[in-house]
Amino acid sequence: MGNSRKKYCVVGYYFSPEDILGAAEKAKNRNFKNFDTFTPFPVHGIEKAMGLKRSTLPYISFGAGVAGLSAAIGLQVWTHLFSWPINIGGKPLLAIPAYVPIFFELTVLFAGVTTAVAMFTVYLGLPNFSKPIFHPDITNDRFALAIEVDSEDQVEPVKKFLREIQAQEIHHVEGAL
């Protein structure tokens, strides 16, 4: 990473969810290559304002659920029919109704754990302790709009844009978003 490719983030702060919604919309319309908003809680409508696509996470959850169900079928059928076929109280070896509770439980177990783990690791890239935290109050009562730029001379025009869209405080930091 050469010095010439150094990236900067220009950050503007707002103090209400309505203001950040408006700012996000304007930032989207300016077609910045990479920008994001940072909020203390999920602000409704911000995905639309920022032009974000709906998460593909449900497909992962569904796949994991199918894997869980297959594991449950495999485990029970293999155990009772092949590994250890034993007659207990005359119950049939392939007793599908008796297998149903564990079908359900393993489906939920696989889907639930995978959803949470995939969301944090694959989708959010966590754990990651090296990304910049622009302001400690972002997890308290501040709403930030951060715009990434490729070189130092682009910082001032973006700051001007943030002033135009009424950011209450503006600063910039070195590093990618």
Positions in the binding site for another protein (CB under 8 A): 13-19, 24, 36-44, 46-47, 50, 52, 54-55, 57-58, 61, 75-76, 79-80, 83-84, 88, 91, 95, 98-99, 101-102, 104-106, 108-109, 111-113, 115-116, 119-120, 123-124, 126-131, 133, 136-142, 168
CB of 85 vs another protein, minimal distance in Å: 9
Return contacts of 160-166, CB within 8 angstroms, 24+ apart: 161/30, 162/10, 162/12, 165/12, 165/22, 165/23, 165/26, 165/27, 166/14, 166/19, 166/23
Between CA 82 and CA 24 the distance in angstroms is: 60
Rank residues 142 and 159 by Cβ distance to another protein and give the closer one.
Answer: 142
Looking at residue 141, the DSSP 8-state letter turns out to be T
CB of 91 vs another protein, minimal distance in Å: 5
Angle, in degrees to the nearest 10, between helices 96-118 and 57-77: 150
Q: Judge if the upstream peptide bond of residue 127 is cis by omega within 30 degrees of 0.
A: yes
CB of 101 vs another protein, minimal distance in Å: 4
Q: Burial level of 3, CB count in 10 A (0-12/13-18/19+)?
A: exposed
CB of 5 vs another protein, minimal distance in Å: 23
At residue 1, the 3 state secondary structure works out as coil
Rank residues 32 and 99 by Cβ distance to another protein and give the closer one.
Answer: 99
Rank residues 116 and 157 by Cβ distance to another protein and give the closer one.
Answer: 116
CB of 14 vs another protein, minimal distance in Å: 7
Rank residues 2 and 42 by Cβ distance to another protein and give the closer one.
Answer: 42
Rank residues 5 and 84 by Cβ distance to another protein and give the closer one.
Answer: 84
What is the widest separation between alpha-carbon atoms in the chain? 81
